[in-house]
């Protein structure tokens, strides 16, 4: 069993890592006034085959974030280590074998910042010997840490008046360079991932700091969007690290508020803030179609499903706890099958939801809600 959390499971080397939050307080609230809750964040390591708990690391945390059910970031597993970032900025590196803490940071304390409204939600990224993570604050929007020692390698950019946002770091190869793309509430910025030096920046104005998706690269075009139809299509220079604005703030496109959209060729599929699945073309932003079928035709409004491609088909995990197999093409959405696999146990906008990305590994699906983590045989889904 597990407790509350939005983080997904991570699977590697015969182990499953998951984080949660144990509290006696009622955390099924929006908490926009940022009241304080007391509890314990935990990092669990389970046996992949049996679900047996191999070890647990826990630490007390006071939450003062909106939707305070638990951690947001899925753990990162790599070469015998697991990196876990909690909702209030507690970052740990632990041995997957023993659960021993290798190093840790309290990002809020060390970088003199505060957690954003919805908590630390940008997954760290391993790049060579470094772990890249949002810290927030002045001059430390993102920091690079040596992934083995935790020692800071570089720091770069400032978070701005709207805070750090929720978009994880993304690395692209374009213009003859590796570019670290940082999508912030006030700008889209390109950095050298080795040094943190800025290549280019284009202004952006988020609504309430709400930037969640990672920018999507399609050829020479980079797309980013967030709440209130705030969107930006950028054209990248193919010869050097540089960019210009192509268009911004179109309506009737894909402006995600929960889940990363998926690009297939030049068509982007994703859930818009209105709770509908849409398809649009890159770079013109033309909407091809929309449907609410994947989320059970509940009244639209932030409903969502996670999207993963499997061969020529797609697997969707919706907030009702259903796994769907479907075809997504420029012509439309066609559902092949669906199965209820787990109960929604959290609360949002007056409805029960499960907002946690599943893990797909070794022909199985690993899913969690606020009460349990389960493993489902996916071998027959072809």
Question: At 175, which CATH number?
Answer: 2.40.128.630
Whole-angstrom distance, CA of residue 173 vs CA of residue 356: 29
Closest alpha carbon to 66 in 116, 30, 21? 30
Is 32 a member of any domain?
Answer: no
**Three-state DSSP string of 227-256:** CCCEEEEEEECCCCCCEEEEEECCCCCCCC
Please indicate, yes or no, if residue 199 is contained in any of the structural domains.
Answer: yes
Cα–Cα dist 135/158, whole Å: 10
Q: What is the mean pLDDT of the chain?
A: 94
pLDDT band at 301 (very low <50, low <70, confident <90, very high): confident
pTM above 0.85, yes or no: yes
Residue 165: domain span: 122-249
Q: What is the pLDDT of residue 203?
A: 95
Bridging pattern class, strands 346-348 and 332-340: unpaired
Neighbouring residues of 2: CB distance < 8 A, sequence distance ≥ 6: 18, 20, 44, 368, 370, 371, 372, 373
Q: Does residue 221 belong to any structural domain of this protein?
A: yes
Q: Quick check: 120 pLDDT over 90? A: yes
Query: Is residue 127 predicted with pLDDT exceeding 60?
Result: yes
Stated as kind and residue range, the H or E segment containing 153 is strand 152-156
Assess whether pLDDT exceeds 90 at residue 207: no
pLDDT one-digit tens code per residue, 169-178? 999 999 999 9
Least confident of 139-143, 172-176, 204-208, 275-279: 204-208
Asked if the structure places residue 168 within a domain, the reply is yes
- Res 103: pLDDT: 99
> In a 3-state reduction of DSSP, which class is residue 124?
coil
Is 349 part of a structural domain of the chain? no
CB under 8 A, 24+ apart: contacts of 310-313 = 310/360, 310/381
Percent of the residues in the chain that have a pLDDT greater than 90, as a whole number: 85
Label residue 163 by pLDDT band (50, 70, 90). Answer: confident
**CB-count exposure of residue 368 (10 Å: 0-12, 13-18, 19+):** buried
Q: Which two structure tokens, joined as six digits, stand for 216?
A: 């999507």
Phi, psi dihedrals of residue 107, rounded to the nearest 5°: -65, -40
Q: Count up the domains in the chain and report the number.
A: 1
Does any domain span residue 41?
Answer: no
Enclosing H/E stretch for 306: strand 305-310
Residue 212, domain member (yes or no): yes
The pLDDT value recorded for residue 300 is: 64
pLDDT tens for residues 214-260? Answer: 999 999 999 999 988 899 999 999 999 999 999 999 888 999 988 99
Kindly calculate the radius of gyration of the chain based on its CA atoms and give it in whole angstroms: 20
Residue 382: per-residue pLDDT: 52
Indicate left, alpha or beta for 281 from its phi (over 0: left) and psi (-120 to 50: alpha): beta
Element (H, E) at 108: helix 107-110
* Bond from prior residue into 281 cis (ω within 30 degrees of 0): no
376 contacts 364 by C-beta, under 8 angstroms: yes
227 occurs within a structural domain: yes
Specify whether the CB–CB gap between 6 and 356 falls below 8 A.
Answer: yes
Give the burial string for 105-126 (b: 16+ CB within 10 Å, else e).
bebbeebebbbbbbbbbbbbbe
Give pLDDT tens digits for 78-93: 999 999 999 999 999 9
């Amino acid at each position: 069993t597990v407790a509350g959390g939005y983080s997904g499971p991570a699977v590697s080397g015969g182990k499953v890592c998951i984080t949660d939050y144990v509290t006696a307080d009622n955390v099924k609230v929006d908490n926009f006034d940022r009241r304080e809750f007391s509890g314990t964040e935990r990092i669990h390591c389970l046996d992949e085959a049996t679900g047996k708990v191999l070890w647990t690391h826990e630490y007390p945390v006071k939450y003062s974030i909106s939707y305070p059910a638990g951690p947001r970031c899925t753990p990162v597993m790599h070469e015998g280590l697991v990196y876990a970032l909690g909702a209030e900025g507690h970052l740990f590196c632990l041995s997957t074998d023993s659960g021993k803490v290798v190093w840790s940071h309290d990002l809020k304390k060390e970088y003199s910042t505060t957690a954003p409204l919805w908590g630390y939600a940008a997954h760290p990224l391993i790049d060579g010997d470094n772990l890249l993570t949002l810290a927030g604050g002045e001059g430390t929007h993102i920091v690079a840490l040596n992934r083995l020692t935790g020692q800071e390698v570089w720091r770069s950019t400032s978070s701005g008046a709207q805070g750090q946002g929720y978009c994880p770091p993304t690395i692209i190869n374009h213009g003859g360079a590796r570019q670290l793309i940082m999508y912030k509430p006030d700008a889209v910025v390109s950095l050298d991932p080795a040094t943190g030096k800025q290549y280019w920046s284009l202004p952006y104005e988020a609504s309430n700091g709400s930037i969640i998706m990672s920018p999507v690269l399609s050829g020479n075009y980079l797309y980013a969007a967030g709440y209130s139809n705030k969107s930006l299509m950028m054209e990248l220079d193919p010869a050097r690290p540089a960019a210009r604005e192509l268009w911004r703030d179109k309506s009737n496109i894909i402006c995600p508020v929960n889940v990363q959209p998926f690009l297939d060729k030049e068509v982007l599929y994703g859930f818009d803030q209105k709770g509908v699945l849409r398809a649009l073309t890159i770079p013109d932003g033309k909407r091809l179609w929309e449907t609410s079928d994947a989320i059970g035709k509940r009244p639209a409004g932030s409903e969502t499903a996670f999207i993963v491609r499997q061969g020529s088909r797609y697997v969707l995990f919706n907030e009702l706890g259903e796994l769907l197999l479907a075809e997504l093409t420029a012509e439309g959405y066609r559902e092949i099958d669906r199965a209820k696999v787990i109960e929604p146990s959290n609360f949002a906008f007056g409805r029960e939801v499960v907002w946690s990305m599943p893990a797909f590994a070794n022909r199985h699906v690993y899913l969690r809600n606020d009460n349990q983590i389960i493993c489902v045989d996916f071998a027959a889904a072809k």
